[in-house]
Amino acid sequence: MGASSQPAEWNAAFLVGKALLETVQRLTLVAEYRDEDAHSHCRRVRYYTEFLVKQLGISDPDSGIMVFSSPMHDIGKVGTPDSILLKQEKLTPQEFEIIKTHTIIGEKILGGSSNPYLESARKFALHHHERWDGSGYPFGLKGADIPIEGRIMHLIDNYDALRSRRPYKLPFPHEDAVRIISEGNEITGPKHFDPDVLDVFRSHERTFREIFETLGEE
């Protein structure tokens, strides 16, 4: 072994670490391939998360871990039947109940690890449909009982979904999406969001627009 070589254990640990990160990225692709909208959504999620965690004052290593793990939030959709995931019409209440289980399936896929990347991804997957006022799922957690990963992703997902085309709805312009999140409509409203996350969104809505429009729908 030359003087400049690293010890064998160091190389092995380094390679295992690299392999873990790469495996996690590939897992994200599994979910993206199920649903054609998911690919560009996941790319944008990373940037929205990066911006939000910075504005919320979350520092490294937590911020870097969250940026990396956020695109895995919908990994549990691998367990949702195609007939529901790809349905062109509005879902029935029974189908909606099945969709809701993607949070629990995500936790099963990602849970049980002491690795901080997987633990952060697990929180994104399990909690991204919880709402600040307790009206979300799967547990109806309220306020700061919802891990920050869930509070961040709930706002990101709502903004991005409002801007995106769906089989049952046209995309909303940026101004309408901001108004719906800030003032509410019959589905979404400000009481669903962590007030600190909502403040960042309101103060920097142009950054959200920029991310959506730069990495827009393909």
What residues line the site for Fe ion (CB under 5 A)? 74, 157
Q: Which of 146, 29, 23, 140 is nearest to 77 (CA)?
A: 29
Q: How far is the CB of 53 from Fe ion (least distance, A)?
A: 16
Amino acid at 127: H
- Name, in order, each residue with C-beta under 8 angstroms of 38's C-beta and a sequence gap of 6 or more: 31, 32, 74, 77
Q: Output 65 or 136, the one with its CB closest to Fe ion.
A: 136
- Distance CA(98)–CA(180), nearest Å, equals 26
Copy the structure tokens of residue 115: 């690795």
Q: Output 17 or 167, the one with its CB closest to Fe ion.
A: 167
Q: How far is the CB of 160 from Fe ion (least distance, A)?
A: 7
Q: Output 10 or 168, the one with its CB closest to Fe ion.
A: 168
**If you write DSSP's letter for every residue of 87-141 in order, what string do you get?**
-SSPPPHHHHHHHHTHHHHHHHHH-S---HHHHHHHHHHHHTT--TTS--SSS--
Q: How far is the CB of 72 from Fe ion (least distance, A)?
A: 10
Q: Which of 162, 181, 155, 167 is nearest to 73 (CA)?
A: 155
Q: How far is the CB of 207 from Fe ion (least distance, A)?
A: 18
- Distance CA(2)–CA(13), nearest Å, equals 19
φ, ψ of residue 145 in degrees (nearest 5): -70, -20
Q: Output 74 or 149, the one with its CB closest to Fe ion.
A: 74
- Name, in order, each residue with C-beta under 8 angstroms of 50's C-beta and a sequence gap of 6 or more: 63, 67
Q: How far is the CB of 94 from Fe ion (least distance, A)?
A: 18
Burial class (CB within 10 angstroms; exposed 0-12, middle 13-18, buried 19+) of 120: buried
Q: How far is the CB of 166 from Fe ion (least distance, A)?
A: 13
Q: Output 59 or 167, the one with its CB closest to Fe ion.
A: 167
Q: Which residue is nearest to Fe ion (CB)?
A: 157
Q: Output 35 or 157, the one with its CB closest to Fe ion.
A: 157
